């Protein structure tokens, strides 16, 4: 059979090619390409499970309570996100939270000057993070080792300053305790929750839209290449760990406003829950990938799981065990995903 000439072939067709099909957007592929797709799917699954397991879950006051319960943990998780994005990790955040709350309460009780107490607490948080960053950089050791040591050091400082007891009997301040700490900005939503959301938005903009955020991603992706192109890797390491200490300090100060007291053991275990939220949110343990939005969604997943356990009257001991199991599962999924990428 003779092959048709160019004049005899149908227009738009070449020999051996398939007919052209209309361009139809593949929504599923686009969704899978979205970095936060996995954690959004996880959030939907746990919400469905919570709704089916308890009819009180969808009550507005319960949903607002979940936001309130993840607020303090959320401040810590945001700072920890900066560290992980740069390939670092801060294990001392729970102890920094406890120390800053104790310092804030002690200064306020002694001086009765609220602003001085707030600045003292935030200053301690910044100082703790700065020490972590400088020591890790100077000694050239992984931050996980340094912060594992300072986890005990900062907790010890808090216990010594508070003499092993709660710091109470603080001066009454209508704005700090009743409005900021326990007041509602509007129905069911507290001022503390709004502050957390504001900090999350600011952190997201810094990470996604600034030169510093670009350097954080670059250092987390490849520290050697970042150094070769002129980035100050040491400064970035110090900065992200300082930010981690600062946000833990914000959480500590806010906890005093909420509880009207401080305890040196406050924040114990927060490093575990914050790490679980950050990893569930899609930030890689190896750094260089993830977002603050993912962290916030990961926080909601952790918060809903905690809420489900509370509604089911599960012991607090089991709640800690479940958090550890969720963290282990998140790490396993993260490692499997990395392995697939390498093999591909």
Convert the pLDDT of each residue in 279-298 to its tens digit.
888 888 888 889 999 999 99
**Rounded alpha-carbon distances, angstroms, from residue 53 to 57, 69, 309, 313, 321:** 8, 20, 10, 12, 20
Share of the chain above pLDDT 70, in %: 84
User: What are the backbone dihedrals phi and psi of residue 186, each rounded to the nearest 5 degrees, phi first?
Assistant: -150, 180
CB 111 within 8 A of CB 312: no
Indicate the average pLDDT of the chain.
85
Convert the pLDDT of each residue in 34-78 to its tens digit.
567 778 888 888 899 889 888 888 888 898 889 998 999 999 999
The position carrying tokens 């969720």 is 326
pLDDT of the residue at 315: 73
Q: Which two tokens stand for residue 133?
A: 């960053």
Q: Which of 15-24, 165-174, 289-298 has the lowest mean pLDDT?
A: 15-24
β-strand partners of 262: 167
Q: Any idea where the domains of the chain sit in the sequence?
A: 66-266
DSSP 210: S
Convert the pLDDT of each residue in 228-276 to its tens digit.
999 999 999 999 999 999 999 999 999 999 999 999 999 988 998 899 8
């Amino acid at each position: 059979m003779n092959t048709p000439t160019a004049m005899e072939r149908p227009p738009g067709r070449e020999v051996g090619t398939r007919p052209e099909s209309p361009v139809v957007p593949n929504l599923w592929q686009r969704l899978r390409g979205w970095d936060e797709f996995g954690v959004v799917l996880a959030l939907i699954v746990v919400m469905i499970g919570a709704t089916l397991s308890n009819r009180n879950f969808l009550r507005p006051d319960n949903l607002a309570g979940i936001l309130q319960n993840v607020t303090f943990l959320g401040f810590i998780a945001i700072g920890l996100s900066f560290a992980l994005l740069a390939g670092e990790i801060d294990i001392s955040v729970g102890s920094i939270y406890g120390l800053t709350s104790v310092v804030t309460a002690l200064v306020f009780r002694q001086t009765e000057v609220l602003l001085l107490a707030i600045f003292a607490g935030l200053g301690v948080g910044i100082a703790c993070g700065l020490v972590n960053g400088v020591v890790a950089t100077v000694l050239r050791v992984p931050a996980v080792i340094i912060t594992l040591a300072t986890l005990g050091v900062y907790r010890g400082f808090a216990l010594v300053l508070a003499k092993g007891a709660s710091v109470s009997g603080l001066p009454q301040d209508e704005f700090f305790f009743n409005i900021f700490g326990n007041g509602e900005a509007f129905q069911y939503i507290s001022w503390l929750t709004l502050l957390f959301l504001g900090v999350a938005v600011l952190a997201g903009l810094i990470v996604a839209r600034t030169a510093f955020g670009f350097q954080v991603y670059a250092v987390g992706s490849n520290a050697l290449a970042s150094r070769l192109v002129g980035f100050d890797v040491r400064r970035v390491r110090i900065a992200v760990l300082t930010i981690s200490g600062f946000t833990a300090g914000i959480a500590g100060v806010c906890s005093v406003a909420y509880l009207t007291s401080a305890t040196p053991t406050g924040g114990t275990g927060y490093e575990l829950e914050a790490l679980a939220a950050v990893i569930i949110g899609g930030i890689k343990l190896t750094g260089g990938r993830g977002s603050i939005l993912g962290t916030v969604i990961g926080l909601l997943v952790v918060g809903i799981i905690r809420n489900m356990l509370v509604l089911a009257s599960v012991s607090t001991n089991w709640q800690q065990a479940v958090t550890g199991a969720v963290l282990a599962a998140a790490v396993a999924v993260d490692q499997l995903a990395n392995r697939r990428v390498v093999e591909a």
